[in-house]
Amino acid sequence: MFNNYQNHTLVQLQQQDTLRSAAQQHLAAQAESLKPTPFYGPALAQLGSTLVNLGHELQERYGALLEQETQPQPATPR
């Protein structure tokens, strides 16, 4: 049967092994991601068109309101 110190040491060793394994997997995934893939081009194009559509939508909804707010208002008599 383990005492608390041995149990703690065993848990620490398991955590270190898990972290080392995760770091190796991360490095392998990072190296794999550096290979050229066709994902970026279409994804960026889709993101760009979505942003343009969002800009047009916002301009249609709030453009008239902004124009009204920026128009000079006539002075009100006191």
Helices (H), 1-39: 4-33
- For the chain, the domains span 1-35, 36-67
* Structure confidence at residue 65 (pLDDT): 72
State the pTM of this model.
Answer: 0.38
Per-residue pLDDT for 36 more than 80? no
CB 10 within 8 A of CB 2: yes
Per-residue pLDDT for 1 more than 60? no
pLDDT tens digit string along 17-33?
888 888 888 888 887 77
- Residue scoring higher pLDDT (31 or 1): 31
* Structure confidence at residue 3 (pLDDT): 76
